[in-house]
Amino acid sequence: MPDTGLRSDQAVSSAVSWLRGGVSVTVSRQYERTVKETVLTPAARCSAAIEVLADIAERRRPAADALKDWGLAHRFAGSGDRGAIASLVYDALRRRASSAWIMGAETPRAVLLGSLRLQQGLAAPSIAALFTGERFAPEPLNEAERERIANGTLADAPSEIAGDVPEWVLPSLARTLGDALLPELKALARRAPLDIRINALKRTREEALPTLAYLKAEQTPHAPAGLRIPIGADGRGPALHVEPEFLEGWYEIQDEGSQLASLLAGAMEGETVVDLCAGGGGKTLALAALTGNRARLIATDGDPRRLAPIHERLRRSGAQAEIRTPRGGRARADVLTDLDGQVDRVLVDAPCTGSGTWRRNPDAKWRLRPGSLAARIAEQEAVLDRAGLLVRPGGRIVYVTCSLLPEENDGAVSGFVERNGGGFSVVPAQAVLAEHAPGLAEAVRLTRHGLQMSPALTGTDGFYVATLERRR
C-alpha cells in the first residue's frame, strides 16, 4: 500500500483505489471506509494546499471548485482533512499579495509559506518542521526562504500589497474608507466570524441562549437577534447545519451585517414588502421574523436557480412569504407586474462585486476585473429601475449591497435619483438609524446617500444601506 502521509491508530491491511503520479492501485471499499477515519499529517495538508493553490492559479478558477475537485481525486482524505486544507488555502488567498512580497516570489509554495508566517503567526522553526521533504511533506526550505520567513517585512510595501487587494481597485476603496484605508484592508484580510440569527418566530435570543450554551455563543455587538460562535485556530466553526436546533428552525447562519441590513429595511406589520433579489432567502426570513409574519412578503429573483433553497428554509423557520419564480430561458415573463405602484417597501439586495465579503471569499478579489464591476453596475441600474415601478407614492426602496466600492453604492443611488427626475428622494441615513437602530450610529460610516458597515469599524462584512422614498 502506498504511503499516504496518514496517521491512524488502526493498522489497515486492505487497500483502496489510489491514484498518484499516474500509477493506479485498486483496493477494497472496506478499506476506503476505514481510511476516511484517518488524518493527514499537517505537512501533508500543506502539500495538498500548495497543489490546490497551483490549480487555482493555473486555471483561474474559484477556490471552492478547486477544493472540491481535489477532494474527489483524494477520497482517502476525511472531512477534517478537507476542512483544514480549505483553511490553509483561504488563508493564503487572503494574504496572497503580502505573502508574495515577504517571500519575494508569487508561486503557490511561496504564498503558502508567507501566509503561515503572516496569517497563522508561525515562527520559522515551526514552518521548517512542516517543510521537511519526508513522506508527503513539501520540499525542505532553502536558505533564501529561511531568510525571508525570518526577516521579511511589509514596512516598505505599498498599500495594495500591505492591504492585499488588487491595485486597480484601491482608489475606489480609498474614497469609501479614507484615512482608515489600511486598517480596514487588514481587517478585510482576516478570517470572518461565525454569526447566527435567532429566529424570533420560534424563540427569543434570551430563550435560546441556555439551550445553545454548548456552542459557547456570545451576543453580537449590534444585531438584537444575533449570536457569535467561536471558531477554532484553523478558522473552522462547528457544523451548525446538522444541529437539532438548526433543523428545527431556531436559527439561521447569517453575518451580523446582513442581519442589520434587514433591520434597517424597516419592514412593518401590515405592509406589502417585496424582496426583489431574494436569492436563497436569508433576508426574506429575517423580514418575516422582524414583522412576526404580519406583513405580506413577496420574494423573487431574476435567476430562478438562486431561489431553490428558499422553500425548505421557509418550511423549517415557519416564515411566511409568497415566492414568485420566473421561468427559465430568455423570454422570462415579469412576475411582479400586478404589484406595480402598490408596494409599500422594496428591498433591493443588489448583485454586486461582493468586495465587502472578501474575508469569506478571498479568491473573489483576485478574480475581480474592471469589466466585472461594469457588469454589476448595469445590473444594479436595472433592479433599481424595476423597484421604482413597484413602489407606491410614499413608499420606500431600501438599497443594499455587500460592497465597499462607491460606484456600486452612492453612485448607483445618484444614478437612480437622476434618472427619475425628482420622483424619489434619499431618506437621510441618520433618520433611518434613529428609527430602526439608534445604537448603531457610532459603528458605521455615513456616506453621501447611505451608511457603510465595515470589518474594522462595525465588525461585520462590508454592507451598504440606502433608503429612497417615492415622492409622487
Give the annotated binding-site residues: 301, 349
- The pairs formed by 84-89 with CB atoms below 8 angstroms and a separation of 24 or more are 84/40, 84/45, 84/234, 84/236, 85/40, 85/45, 85/48, 85/49, 85/52, 87/234, 87/235, 87/236, 88/45, 88/46, 88/49, 88/112, 88/115, 89/49, 89/52, 89/53, 89/56, 89/63
User: Under a CB-based contact definition with an 8 Å cutoff, are residues 149 and 117 in contact?
Assistant: yes
CA distance 432 to 450: 9
Q: In a 3-state reduction of DSSP, which class is residue 297?
A: strand
Catalytic residue among 46, 277, 352, 402: 402
Q: Which amino acid is at 176?
A: T
Q: In a 3-state reduction of DSSP, which class is residue 16?
A: coil
Question: Does an H or E element contain 98, and which?
Answer: helix 96-103
**352 assigned to active site:** no
Annotated binding-site positions for S-adenosyl-L-methionine: 301, 349
Phi (first) and psi of residue 116, to 5 degrees = -60, -35
Contacts of 383 by beta carbon, 8 Å cutoff, 6+ apart = 276, 277, 302, 348, 350, 351
**Cell numbers placing 348:** 433591493
CA distance 420 to 416: 6
CA distance 2 to 22: 13
User: Under a CB-based contact definition with an 8 Å cutoff, are residues 43 and 66 in contact?
Assistant: no
**Cell numbers placing 433:** 438609524
**Cell numbers placing 196:** 447566527
Handedness of CA 187, 266, 321, 299 (dihedral sign): negative
User: Under a CB-based contact definition with an 8 Å cutoff, are residues 376 and 366 in contact?
Assistant: no
What residue has cell string 445553545? 212
Catalytic residue annotation = 402
